[in-house]
Structure 1
């Protein structure tokens, strides 16, 4: 059972971070063309399509991680890396789900109503997605090194 959960956890992590990275790269490349109808539609489609992978896989990472922590049953004598994985990883996933969901819907609304290129700013959304990627990878590094 633990092996299956670990597989789900790592697969979900790969899909989640890959989807976030794809959104960042594609929107970064597309940002200069935004303002006309076709690039705006494409940006909305990119956000919607990759969010369909990112959000469910983040939930899978969270649920499988919680179940694995419960199964370990270490109590209060957990090493630091396990505390970082449990508390830091869970917080980052919840924050990412909430933040990317809210900001993604705001960006999609702006892309739907934008008539001039200056009205659509993706920098805040791209920075928040990039920050979530860096934070998640930081947790993976700490857990991998077992600091």
Structure 2
């Protein structure tokens, strides 16, 4: 069972990080056209929706499988990398689910309401990039077992 949960953990991480990469690249490429063209607005709204369907379940899968893996490791003194993975990774996953859900719906509303006016999504892109850096930072610490 441990091996299967580890597989689910990595599969969720792959979906989560893959979704972040897609949203950063797609919205970044469309950012200059947003608000000016209905086609680009529609594409951006659909991209944010697909991102939600891909990355949010991935983050939930990472959170759930990580919780299972940590509970099965037992208690006792833990190395620093395991504490960072446990507390930092869990916190990042929870914050990600809450913040990106709120920001995603705000961006979609802005895009839907924009009629020829430019739409700024720099805050959304900055937040997604920050989450990407945080997730990869936790992955780096865990991989190096610092």
Q: TM-score range by the shorter chain?
A: over 0.9
Q: 2:57 maps to what in 1?
A: 56
- Structure 1 runs (4+) deviating above 2 angstroms are none
Provide the rounded CA distance (Å) in 2 between the counterparts of 1:5 and 1:117: 47
Shift, 1:117, TM fit: 3.2
Q: 1:99 maps to what in 2?
A: 99
Cα deviation code 1:34-61 (max 9, x no counterpart)? 1121110110000001210110110000
Shift, 1:89, TM fit: 0.2
Cα deviation code 1:4-28 (max 9, x no counterpart)? 0000001100111101110110010
Provide the rounded CA distance (Å) in 2 between the counterparts of 1:57 and 1:142: 20
Q: 2:109 maps to what in 1?
A: 109
Q: 1:132 maps to what in 2?
A: 131
Query: Structure 2, unaligned stretches of length 5 or more?
Result: none
Cα deviation code 1:52-102 (max 9, x no counterpart)? 011011000000000000000033x01110000000000000011111100
Provide the rounded CA distance (Å) in 2 between the counterparts of 1:130 and 1:96: 11
Q: Please state whether the residue corresponding to 1:78 is helix, strand or coil.
A: coil
- TM-score calculated relative to the size of structure 2: 0.97
Q: 2:73 maps to what in 1?
A: 72
Provide the rounded CA distance (Å) in 1 between the counterparts of 2:65 and 2:80: 20
Q: Please state whether the residue corresponding to 1:33 is helix, strand or coil.
A: coil
Q: Please state whether the residue corresponding to 1:62 is helix, strand or coil.
A: helix
Q: Please state whether the residue corresponding to 2:32 is helix, strand or coil.
A: helix
Provide the rounded CA distance (Å) in 1 between the counterparts of 2:52 and 2:17: 11
Provide the rounded CA distance (Å) in 2 between the counterparts of 1:25 and 1:117: 22
Provide the rounded CA distance (Å) in 2 between the counterparts of 1:111 and 1:82: 41
Q: 1:141 maps to what in 2?
A: 140
